Structure 1
Amino acid sequence: MWREESAERSFWLAVFAWLLSICEWVGVRAEDVKSTWSGGTVKTSYQLKVSTMAAFQLLFPLLVSCVAASTPPPRHIPACQVVQMDVFCSNLSLRSVPVNLPNGVQMLDLSRNQVQNLTQETLAYHIGFHHLNLHSNKIHFIEPGLFKDMIDLKVLDLSRNHLNVFAHSKINIGPLTAVESLDLSSNGLYTGMSDYFLADSPSLADLSLNSNSITKIAQHTFSGSSSLRKINLHNNVILEIEDGAFDSLNNLTELDLSKNSITCITDFNLCNLKVLNLSKNSLELFQSTTSTDCYKLLYLDLSENKMLYFPLLPRNNRLEYLDVSRNHLQSINVTGSPERKTNVYFYHLRYLDMSYNQLKSIPESFFYCMGSIEVLNVSNNCISSFSITNEGLLQTVKIINLSYNSLQSLTFGENTLQSLEKLFLHGNDLTTLDHQIFQRLPSIKYLHLQQNNLEICSSHQNHEDPPGCVSFSSIRSLQFLNLSENSLRTLPANSFADTPLKLLDLSLNPGLDMDTHSLSGLEHSLVHLLLKENNISSLNTDLSSLRSLRHIDLSTNQLTALPMWNKDSSIESLNLQNNNLVTLEYSTMHALEHSLKTLYMGSNPLSCCSNLDFLDMVQHSAVVVPDIETVTCVHEEYSELVYIAKVTKEMCHRSRVQKYVIAAVLIVLIVMIVLGLLVKCCQSRKRKHNRSFNA
């Protein structure tokens, strides 16, 4: 702005000076003419030439000044990065390509600049690009035929511009002879505008039109791009897809129609399609045409729609991934009519997600034609009963998620679910299960039972075990067990005998009474133990015998003393936050010092001067206290809590000296008082003795 004002000022100063010169010259010439007429003489041609030259001499400075004033001051163009034949000019506020680019540039990144008009001049007349990135500019005009000579251009990114303005001109930008990947996303394009970019793109394979305003896919939309393999139409407002819109695309394998407004698909017939994403629409029904053709579809995402019925695909399909989560499914019926029940055929299905629906039950027959399924997610439904009793069902399933349902009954028959590794049952409020239900799962590794109401049996069944209790002993493959928030009252001896647990979570069971030998059998396997928020005042269980234990969480309890550990301990992380610890036994902490790496100590009523040895250990060892800045202690000389990191030995020694002085003074006073009393007693006796002698 300052340069523009200076140029304008220079221009007007030059004009003003020229006008003064003209006035002066005119005045001189007028005097010459006057004298000529008065003298009766005639001006010669020579004099005219002189006058003309003088006028030109006056005009020339003005022309130079005008040109100088109108020419913008030279700008410093930021340097682009050149790596071999790739040029990176991103985010440099450029309006065009710098003219000094090397010849033979193959990749040009001109993204995030200020380009408005895309012309040959803008691109500095380079045509040998293989990859041209122009996203996030302000392009609203493209020179017709600009790309026709770019016969090597494979990738063209025009996303995040203003191509909707250009589309109003109804001019095709083609031909895009060799372009294989074209990105037109976020350009404000609406129905019909994409035709001007796709009309002559014979090699186009990958097309992105996401985040525009397209409402309809017409039958001819992709007629000029018959080689398309992948189309992204995510985040538009598509309401209608005309019949045959994709029929000419024999190579189409991926189609993303997610986040649109499609309400119904009743004649799905794209046999060659492998990936179809229809999530976040308003679909109420998905059904394919009746056909004996082989459908190659592998991935189908129908999540976050309004479907009432299970999707119907042809019997001859190869579907491996199906997501129908977050719909309105109330049953696994595919037609809505009980008398017209149609079986589902998913022989190749590996992943099925039906979570966040309104399913009340899933009969075993639903799984008859699912011989390859590995992941089954039916969490967050209304299922009250789930059973697998047929040995031939779900033999390949590895993960079952039944969390957050209304389960009251759970049954696994003998020799069923032989491959099951992870079972999620949390959030069901289960109270009664078959005593040996989990022993029937030979491959189970991870068992999540949080937020239920189970009771644990002892390792040997006897009359003392509560009815309906569940056994967790002798589950040979189980490594991770979560029993938090189960209202557990007791943990019997040998509860986990012959079960090689690595992680055990018993948190949030207030009042849990642990037997001295409740963790027996876990000496060589247990690595993580969580006992937080159990209102425990003391631990009866001997944790020092757990030789493999690395991480223990005892936070938010009522502990007044630390559990005993010896030098054979391997504890690396210890959480003691929110307890009632006043003094940390140095012998115990010293035993942990060789292995302990992380210690949490906040929110304990620690004594400042009773933990000097512990403080010295923290300050001079490798132990890290992440919450050290918030750990406080009580010091008798201070009315407020003291941050333990600021406590020094001198503070406590001074306090001790003062105590000794006060004690010494008190002792001296007491001694003096006693001596004084003794002296008085002696004097009184002497007087009595003297009186009796005189008599």
Structure 2
Amino acid sequence: MAALPLLLALLIRGMASAAHHPRLPRHRPSCHMVQMSVVVCSNLSLTGAPVNLPPGIETLDLSHNQVQNLTRDTLAYRTDLRHLNLHSNKIHFIQPGLFEDMTNLKILDLSRNHLNVFALTKNKIGTLAAVETLDLSSNGLYTGMSDFLIADSPSLVELSLNSNSITKIAQNTFRGALSLRKVSLHNNVILEIEDGAFDSLDCLTELDLSKNSITCITDFNLSRLKVLNLSKNSLEIFQSTRLTDVYDLVFLDLSENKLPCFPLLPANNSIQHLDLSRNQLQSVNMTDTPERKTHVVLNHLRYLDLSYNQLKDIPQSFFHTMTSLEVLNVSNNCIDSFLIVDKDLLPAVKIINLNYNSLQRLSFGEATLQSLKELLLRGNDLSTLEQQTLQRLPSLNLLQLQENNLRVCPWDTKPCPSDHNRLHPPDCVYFSCIPNLKYLYLSQNNLKSLPFSAFADTPLTLLDLSLNPGLEMHPDSLSGLEHTLVHLFLRENNISKLNTELSSLRSLRLVDLSTNQLTSLPAWSKESSIETLNLHNNSLVTLEHSTMIALERSLKTLYVGSNPLSCCGNLGFLHLVQHSTVVVPDIETVTCLLREDSEPVNIEKVSREMCHSPKKVNYIIVVVVFVLFAMIMSGLMVKYCKSRKRKHVRRFIA
């Protein structure tokens, strides 16, 4: 009980001390200046703009906060802003007339709020005097609600109503914003567009109606429009009936719809980009009946995408007016024959993509497709090509022929362009004398052999022969590529021995021999230029010391995991891994065996000392030494005993 007054005194003293030294409140995260005129107050759980912001601010970011009521007080009576970002708040009320005094405000972002609640009151927000860009996306707005928000927007140029629930575009939807140039209605549920809905927008040049539920456009008449996106709708018809009017349309995206035939486009058009991919096109006729064929000039068209349709044939006449076309994509269709015979067809085309069709015949006439740089023929049924088909393409730089069923013609029967007397052997393709071909892909062609000088006079820098199980390469199959070939891919070919001389390829930088059955490597000369070598997943036990020394001079990256390597039979490779600058990306899977019956050890944990066998003990010498030692000890014991006995006798006589 005597200690109680003392404890009470200490408690009072502590309370007094706390009163003189109060705990400082924790500082809440504050806004920060990005530039002299830009303030970011994002993600601070604010219900309004801070009142102590410095003067001269032009941009205020209040996104991702808790603003609910947008009033003059909420904005701290700021009227000098040029850019106001209120994205991702909870705004459901806007004070009418709030923006009338904000005569400098050009950009207003109100996306991801609850403005549908405000629109239900049918009150207008008042004049947006100077606003040029307005984002109202993701506000739960449905048909007619946007009218209350843009009813008086004389300067509005760009409007986003993306990701709302609008089902109809009415004639009066944009009557309060007649200066609009760009309107985006992506990701709504628009089913209907009233006639004349956009007619009052004389300045409109970009319209995005993608990802809606529009089924037909029967009278496209927006002649001043330059960009129109109608992708991801349910369009079954698109046509312009005013064929004589001049249209400014440059970009038209009709992809991912249900169009059964080519759209009926304005005759006088400026279209450069036309995307019709992922529709239900079965022909390129512009109407569904042959007797109503209509021809439209597309001489400005540069990009045409017809991929992922049901086309079985594309007649040459289809390309007659496409004199500017540079990219043609007709991949993933059902085309079995593609012919370009007329030299005036597709004079500017640079890329033709015919991947994944049913091609059995491909023919290019003489002097055709002189600008073609890339020809993509992957995943077809090609087994041969007509003689000189590839040699006639002077600009061809890249050729994809994966997943076909080709056989490579040998050099000794190959006619170059100057040799017209030799017979064309059946069922094979010539890959020599293609003047500018640099990239050739022949994987998955069921190739069984690669003949002598198969690519002579073709300046290949990349050659892919992968995934041709059982491929046998002539020792000189790559002859002619000594000074050009940089990348060589031979993976997954079940190769057990590589008999092709690679050291003669002076420019070779990358070789991929992964997933084969190689038991040894060919000898590389000291002048090897290989920088990346992939030997992953083979049957290699030893890597010759001389080969490793030769490769080490240029090698930078080596893949060698998943091989049954011997630890002590690869001391040269061990030194390369542990002491050189060569990078082994799959080092964790590189293991070796110290002995045949031992468990695999990671190559990084192996040392030379592990491979030094302990000296064998010579048991005969040990036995001899032991016997000699025993004899010496026995002799000494006998001598010692005799001397002891003589001393004992003498002592007895005395």
How high is the TM-score relative to the length of structure 1?
A: 0.83
Alpha-carbon distance between aligned partners in 1 of 2:622 and 2:299, rounded to the nearest angstrom: 97
Give yes or no for the alignment of 1:595 onto 2:546: no
**Shift, 1:621, TM fit:** 1.0
**What secondary structure sits across from 1:661 in the alignment?**
coil
Do 1:561 and 1:584's aligned partners in 2 also have CA atoms closer than 8 Å? yes
Equivalent position of 1:422 in the other structure? 374
Alpha-carbon distance between aligned partners in 2 of 1:74 and 1:506, rounded to the nearest angstrom: 70
Give yes or no for the alignment of 1:293 onto 2:245: yes
Equivalent position of 2:330 in the other structure? 378
Give yes or no for the alignment of 1:221 onto 2:170: no
- Choose 105-114 or 430-439, whichever is displaced more: 430-439
Alpha-carbon distance between aligned partners in 2 of 1:366 and 1:637, rounded to the nearest angstrom: 69
Alpha-carbon distance between aligned partners in 2 of 1:518 and 1:363, rounded to the nearest angstrom: 39
| Residue from 358, 361, 364 that aligns with 1:406 | 358
**Shift, 1:353, TM fit:** 0.3
Larger proportion of helix: 1
Equivalent position of 1:566 in the other structure? 525
Give yes or no for the alignment of 1:621 onto 2:580: yes
**What secondary structure sits across from 2:375 in the alignment?**
strand
| Residue from 217, 221, 234 that aligns with 1:269 | 221
**Shift, 1:611, TM fit:** 1.2
Cα deviation code 1:521-567 (max 9, x no counterpart)? 10000000000111111111100000000000001111111122122
RMSD across aligned positions (CA): 1.7
**Shift, 1:291, TM fit:** 3.3
Do 1:538 and 1:559's aligned partners in 2 also have CA atoms closer than 8 Å? yes
Alpha-carbon distance between aligned partners in 2 of 1:599 and 1:77, rounded to the nearest angstrom: 53
Equivalent position of 2:31 in the other structure? 80
| Residue from 145, 151, 160 that aligns with 2:112 | 160
The aligned length equals 592
Alpha-carbon distance between aligned partners in 2 of 1:635 and 1:325, rounded to the nearest angstrom: 59
| Residue from 37, 42, 64 that aligns with 1:112 | 64
Alpha-carbon distance between aligned partners in 2 of 1:476 and 1:666, rounded to the nearest angstrom: 78
**Shift, 1:75, TM fit:** 8.1
**Shift, 1:584, TM fit:** 0.7
**Shift, 1:78, TM fit:** 2.6
Cα deviation code 1:326-365 (max 9, x no counterpart)? 0000001111011111123211000000000000000000
Equivalent position of 1:45 in the other structure? none
Equivalent position of 1:148 in the other structure? 100
Q: Which amino acid aligns with 1:150?
A: M
Equivalent position of 1:197 in the other structure? 149
Cα deviation code 1:297-333 (max 9, x no counterpart)? 0000000000001011111000000000000000011
Do 2:548 and 2:572's aligned partners in 1 also have CA atoms closer than 8 Å? no
Give yes or no for the alignment of 1:481 onto 2:440: yes
| Residue from 508, 518, 521 that aligns with 2:467 | 508
Do 1:435 and 1:469's aligned partners in 2 also have CA atoms closer than 8 Å? no
Alpha-carbon distance between aligned partners in 1 of 2:310 and 2:528, rounded to the nearest angstrom: 50
Q: Which amino acid aligns with 2:543?
A: L
Do 2:460 and 2:484's aligned partners in 1 also have CA atoms closer than 8 Å? yes
| Residue from 604, 613, 631 that aligns with 2:563 | 604
Alpha-carbon distance between aligned partners in 2 of 1:300 and 1:396, rounded to the nearest angstrom: 21
Equivalent position of 1:130 in the other structure? 82
**What secondary structure sits across from 1:365 in the alignment?**
helix
Q: Which has the larger radius of gyration?
A: 1
**Shift, 1:182, TM fit:** 0.2
Do 2:86 and 2:109's aligned partners in 1 also have CA atoms closer than 8 Å? yes
Q: Which amino acid aligns with 1:119?
A: T
- Same amino acid, percent of matched pairs: 69
Alpha-carbon distance between aligned partners in 2 of 1:194 and 1:667, rounded to the nearest angstrom: 107
Alpha-carbon distance between aligned partners in 1 of 2:601 and 2:218, rounded to the nearest angstrom: 72
Q: Which amino acid aligns with 1:78?
A: P
| Residue from 317, 338, 341 that aligns with 1:365 | 317
Alpha-carbon distance between aligned partners in 2 of 1:616 and 1:638, rounded to the nearest angstrom: 24
Long gaps (5+) in structure 1: 1-72, 670-695
Alpha-carbon distance between aligned partners in 1 of 2:523 and 2:252, rounded to the nearest angstrom: 56
Q: CA, structure 1 residues 645+666, in 2 after alignment: closer, same or farther (shift >3 Å)?
A: farther
Cα deviation code 1:205-231 (max 9, x no counterpart)? 010000000000010000110000001
Q: Which amino acid aligns with 1:315?
A: A
**Shift, 1:429, TM fit:** 2.1
Cα deviation code 1:147-170 (max 9, x no counterpart)? 010011000000011111111111
Cα deviation code 1:559-582 (max 9, x no counterpart)? 111122122111110000111100
Alpha-carbon distance between aligned partners in 2 of 1:379 and 1:272, rounded to the nearest angstrom: 32
| Residue from 203, 215, 222 that aligns with 1:251 | 203
Equivalent position of 1:642 in the other structure? 601
Equivalent position of 1:344 in the other structure? 296
Alpha-carbon distance between aligned partners in 2 of 1:162 and 1:668, rounded to the nearest angstrom: 98
Cα deviation code 1:472-512 (max 9, x no counterpart)? 11111000000111111111111010100000000111111
Alpha-carbon distance between aligned partners in 2 of 1:75 and 1:508, rounded to the nearest angstrom: 65
Q: CA, structure 1 residues 574+665, in 2 after alignment: closer, same or farther (shift >3 Å)?
A: farther
Q: Which amino acid aligns with 2:29?
A: P
Alignment map for 1:86-105 (pairs within 5 Å): 86-105=38-57
Give yes or no for the alignment of 1:537 onto 2:496: yes
Equivalent position of 2:539 in the other structure? 580
Cα deviation code 1:261-284 (max 9, x no counterpart)? 000001000011000000000000
Q: Which amino acid aligns with 1:282?
A: S
Cα deviation code 1:45-64 (max 9, x no counterpart)? xxxxxxxxxxxxxxxxxxxx
- Choose 79-88 or 174-183, whichever is displaced more: 79-88
Give yes or no for the alignment of 1:304 onto 2:256: yes
Equivalent position of 2:390 in the other structure? 438
Cα deviation code 1:609-652 (max 9, x no counterpart)? 11122111211111000010111111228632111121122222
**What secondary structure sits across from 1:152 in the alignment?**
coil
- Choose 317-326 or 167-176, whichever is displaced more: 167-176
Give yes or no for the alignment of 1:661 onto 2:616: yes
Long gaps (5+) in structure 2: 1-23, 415-421, 624-654
**What secondary structure sits across from 2:134 in the alignment?**
strand
Alignment map for 1:459-474 (pairs within 5 Å): 459-461=411-413, 467-474=426-433
Alpha-carbon distance between aligned partners in 2 of 1:436 and 1:511, rounded to the nearest angstrom: 28
Do 1:511 and 1:534's aligned partners in 2 also have CA atoms closer than 8 Å? yes
Equivalent position of 1:46 in the other structure? none
**Shift, 1:387, TM fit:** 0.2
Equivalent position of 1:173 in the other structure? 125
Q: CA, structure 1 residues 433+117, in 2 after alignment: closer, same or farther (shift >3 Å)?
A: same
Alpha-carbon distance between aligned partners in 2 of 1:347 and 1:630, rounded to the nearest angstrom: 57
**What secondary structure sits across from 2:333 in the alignment?**
coil
Alpha-carbon distance between aligned partners in 2 of 1:604 and 1:225, rounded to the nearest angstrom: 70
Q: CA, structure 1 residues 607+184, in 2 after alignment: closer, same or farther (shift >3 Å)?
A: same
Q: Which amino acid aligns with 2:451?
A: P
Q: Which amino acid aligns with 1:589?
A: M
Alpha-carbon distance between aligned partners in 2 of 1:666 and 1:500, rounded to the nearest angstrom: 71
Alpha-carbon distance between aligned partners in 2 of 1:215 and 1:75, rounded to the nearest angstrom: 49
**What secondary structure sits across from 1:587 in the alignment?**
helix
Give yes or no for the alignment of 1:280 onto 2:235: no
Equivalent position of 1:528 in the other structure? 487
How high is the TM-score relative to the length of structure 2?
A: 0.88
**What secondary structure sits across from 2:549 in the alignment?**
helix
4+ runs deviating over 6 angstroms: 462-465, 666-669
**Shift, 1:466, TM fit:** 5.0
Do 2:413 and 2:425's aligned partners in 1 also have CA atoms closer than 8 Å? no
Q: Which amino acid aligns with 1:627?
A: D
